[in-house]
Each structure stands twice: as structure tokens, then as C-alpha cells.
Amino acid sequence: MSKTPSTNRSFVGIAWLLGGFVLLVLSDATAKWLVQSHSVMQVVSLRASVLVLCLAVFFSFKNREVLHPGNLKMQLTRGSFACCSQYLFIFGLTYVQLAEAAAAAYLGPVILTALAPFILGERVGIHRWGAVLLGFIGMLIMLRPSSDNIAWAMLLPACSAVFGALRDLTTRKMRGTGHPVTVLLYSNLIIASVGMPFLLSSWQPFTVQQLGLLILSSALIGVAHLMHIQAFRIEEASVLAPFRYSGIIWSVLFGYLIWGVLPDRWVMVGALVVITSGLYIYWREQRAGKAGNGG
């Protein structure tokens, strides 16, 4: 592979990831609003069901090949990780603020980078490790103002991060084996199926406004995950890891706009550290591409 395509590949993969996180945080904010009046199982299961129905109907007419699972074992594995990650994170949102949950969940890049050499055989140099750890420090700085409120509930989004990292590594392992829509379809089918028994036993009706928010959340998370699947098909998981921290910034912003939670100087300092880590790893990737080596 030539130097220019390598640089372009990094840029495109990172762009897909960053755009996906904007939509993903918006979807989580919508879900947090809905779980104030409905159960987590109902919201997450219905959100996944709407997405599965839309994808199945659309691609039944457009391209039926997408509906075929391909490697069923890998689809089930990824879907199980995605299911655990989503439910744990939304459960966490019922106890903590959006920014706090996002900060705890962003242990994921550290886990992802640590596992990438063993699961994917990717090389992780000292500079990538340094950038990921710098982002982790930024996360801790942002958590500092809320340290009095950190309790067992923060373990929910933290555990979500573990399953999210395993989901992303599985996505990377599946590249070239099927259409991104197929991956999204079967993962959400598992998520919807797991919550369905609980949904039927504790049904709470929706108003027209709440139904609109549910559909919006479903559309946002669907597009977001398609963008993330595409990102991990293009670029190495360990390269993308530091840029996952960008979601914290959006979580702080939307938390303020929707719930009036005003970020203070510690949150701003932490956000600056996170941005610095992402820019640094991208700069290193460009230098490594020009030099013809990694790290």
C-alpha cells in the first residue's frame, strides 16, 4: 500500500468514527429522556425493533443478500457483545448524568488497545499507548468534579465499555465477510429479542411525542453504528481508539443543552486533554505513513 492511500485511509476511518459519535450521543440523550417514564428494557428493545423492521423492509426490496447472516457465529458473537454494551449503558443513564456515564464508558479505548495485539495481531507502539493513556487521564480529570457522586452505578457504563471494546474488536475481525447493514441488522435483532419478554411484562404506553423520540433515537443509533462499522473496516482498532474519547465532549455539550448541567473548568481541562490525545495519535499516524512504519 502506498503512503498516500495509507494517510487517506486513516483520515476517512477517523472521520466515520467521529461523525458516528455525534449521532450516538444524541441517541443516548434521547434514550435517557425516555427512560425517565419507561423501563430500560422497553426503550432499548423497542429502539432496536424499529431499526430491525426498517432495515428488513427496505432491503427486502433493495438487496435481499443483506438479509443473509453469512458467518452466523460471528454475527451472534458481535450481537451478544453489542447487546450487553447497550443495556448496561442505558441502565447506567437512569442513575448518573450523560457526561458521567460517557466518561466511565470511555475506559473502552484502553481496553480495546490492550486487546488488539492479542485478538487482531495489530501492532501497538509506545506512541499509541501514550495517546490512549493521555485520553484516559483526561477522562479522570472530567470525573473529578463529580467524584462525590461516583458509586456502584458507575460500574454499569464501565462494564458497558468492556463489552463495547469486544464488540468493536469483533467488528474489525469481521471486515470483508459481509455487508455493514447485515452486521447492524443481526446485532439489533439480538438486542430486541433479549428485551422482548421484559417489554411485554411491563408495557407502558407512549405519547405521540415519546413515540417520535423513540423513532428518532432508533434512526440516530442505526446510522451511528453503520458509521462505526465502516470505520473499523477501514482502519486499525488501535489507531481509532483515542478518537472514541470525542464522545465525552458531545455528552457534556448535550447534557448542558438538554438538562442544564453546566460543565466547569475541570471538565473543560479534561476535554482539552482528550482532544490533544486524539490529535497527537493522528499526527503520529501521518508521520508513520510517510516513514513506512507503525507505532
pLDDT digit string (tens) for 119-169?
878 777 888 788 888 888 887 777 665 555 555 677 888 889 889 989 988
According to the model, what pLDDT value does residue 1 have? 39
The answer to whether the CB of 278 falls within 8 A of the CB of 242 is yes
CA distances from 40 to 36, 78, 97 (A): 9, 21, 15
Q: How many CB atoms lie within 10 A of CB 239?
A: 27
According to the model, what pLDDT value does residue 4 have? 43
Selection from 252, 256, 244 nearest residue 271 by Cα? 252
**What is the mean pLDDT of the segment spanning 192-218?**
90
According to the model, what pLDDT value does residue 207 have? 95
Alpha-carbon span 75 to 189, nearest angstrom: 10
pLDDT band at 65 (very low <50, low <70, confident <90, very high): confident
Matching residue, cell 428493545: 45
The answer to whether the CB of 213 falls within 8 A of the CB of 34 is yes
Q: What are 244-281's pLDDT values in tens digits?
A: 778 888 888 899 899 988 766 776 787 788 778 877 77
Residue 223: pLDDT over 90: yes
Query: Whole-number mean pLDDT of the chain?
Result: 83
Q: What are 75-102's pLDDT values in tens digits?
A: 999 999 999 999 999 999 998 888 878 8
CA angle 74, 79, 81 (to 5 degrees): 100
3-state secondary structure string, the chain?
CCHHHHHHHHHHHHHHHHHHHHHHHHHHHHHHHHCCCCCHHHHHHHHHHHHHHHHHHHHHHHCHHHHCCCCHHHHHHHHHHHHHHHHHHHHHHCCCCHHHHHHHHCCHHHHHHHHHHHHCCCCCCHHHHHHHHHHHHHHHHHHHHHHHHCCHHHHHHHHHHHHHHHHHHHHHHCCCCCCHHHHHHHHHHHHHHHHHHHHHHCCCCCCHHHHHHHHHHHHHHHHHHHHHHHHHHHCCHHHHHHHHHHHHHHHHHHHHHHHCCCCCHHHHHHHHHHHHHHHHHHHHHHHHHHHCCCC
Alpha-carbon span 247 to 21, nearest angstrom: 5
